[in-house]
Amino acid sequence: MLKYVFWNNKGGTGKTSLIFQSMCSYAQKHPDKRILAVDVCPQANFSELLLGGLVNSGSSHLLQIQGQVPRATIGGYFQLRLPAPYSPPNFDAHDYLTVPSSKNSQIPKNVQLLCGDPLLELQSNAMSTLANNQIPGTNTWIAIIDWLNDFLGQLESEFDVVFIDTNPSFSIYTQIALSAADRIVLPVMADDSSRRAIQNAFSLIYGLKLPSEIYLEYAFTKKLENAGRGLPKVHLVLKNRITQYMGPASAYSAVLREIENELISLVNQNPEIFTFGTVDDGVEEIRDFQTTGVVAFAKGAPFYRLSSGRLNINGQRVRVNEEYRLNCISSIDQVVAKL
């Protein structure tokens, strides 16, 4: 079971759109692979997309799933864990899974989903408190961090690839997601805040360039290392919406170069945290999806299933240009080719 997590601690990088399109395309190109989507975000946009999007009742389908007994979401599973947080209770992971194609026919049938849930925000404080308890003989932080690992452990032989969507934060549930993953896909934008976000991401996960050694003792990487656990490796950096910033005179060109130089330095100095040896192998440029992306998001549709031409979206007439749609498919295919 190979596990990818899409994460950046900066919002607005297109993370959910990219994981949705990449996962659907991967599943469509590999019908023999069994795919599990895991939504570790209280906004649950990834789940709503898979269940139908804005105009195809994705939100209503998610509410129905949240109303099941047991609550068939990651929040429902975490709720089960709260009363006895340090040892796995008896549970069946299948009780919390949904088949998205039963709600949204545009999703490949080889995909199952552990839905996201706004309960994560309510649970976060309790989980953080439990993780910081001092109990002799028990690593309370690892016990909490392993909740998703415990869940996926039941499904090890049933799925080949897991795609995990995350919140743009480094909260306890995000750390749970990151610790369960093998590989990180890091979407960035061509702006200065994304340059800083890359530096922050590597500090938070790998303890690099911390302002003081004091912080290392409490760092995510140190806690996992002390427990004999490995870290996920950076597998891809996606420069998203690159066509917004094209042109030699663009003010963003310098930022793009800074991002690339930062990555070159990191790869050279810390090759063990990457799956690639050169930046060219680990970076993909993603064009702006424009109207095509907006329509796909609204319909909960992979690009390869989206119709071109004039469409009606909630009473608004919009036009999906076929050339743009094919360009979107090509961009996602480049990502999928490296998964």
State the CB neighbour count (10 A cutoff) for residue 211: 7
**Which strands sit side by side in the sheet containing 111-114, from one edge to the other?**
111-114, 35-40, 161-166, 2-6, 183-189, 233-240, 283-285
The pLDDT tens digits for 268-285 are: 898 999 999 988 899 888
Q: Which residues contact 23 (CB under 8 A, 6 or more apart)?
A: 35, 37, 111, 163
CATH of the domain at 76: 3.40.50.300
Provide the domain limits for residue 251.
2-336
Residue 122: count of CB within 10 angstroms of its CB: 13
DSSP per position, 13-24: S-HHHHHHHHHH
Q: What is the pLDDT of residues 185-200, one digit of tens each?
A: 998 876 656 667 777 8
Radius of gyration of the chain (CA): 20
Q: Tell me the backbone φ, ψ of residue 320, rounded to 5 degrees.
A: -100, 115
The predicted model gives 203-209 an average pLDDT of 85
Is residue 248's pLDDT more than 90?
A: no
Please tell me the predicted confidence (pLDDT) of residue 261: 83
CA distances from 35 to 102, 111, 162, 215, 333 (A): 15, 5, 6, 37, 17
Summarize the confidence of residues 288-298 as an average pLDDT: 84
Check whether 249 has a pLDDT greater than 50: no
Asked if residue 199 lies in contact with residue 190, where contact means CB atoms within 8 angstroms, the answer is no
Number of domains within the chain: 1
As a whole-number percent, the residues of the chain with pLDDT over 90 amount to: 57
What is the pTM for the complete model shown?
0.92
Strands 316-320 and 309-313, bridge-based pairing: antiparallel
User: What is the spatial distance between Cα 11 and Cα 168, in angstroms, rounded to a whole number?
Assistant: 5
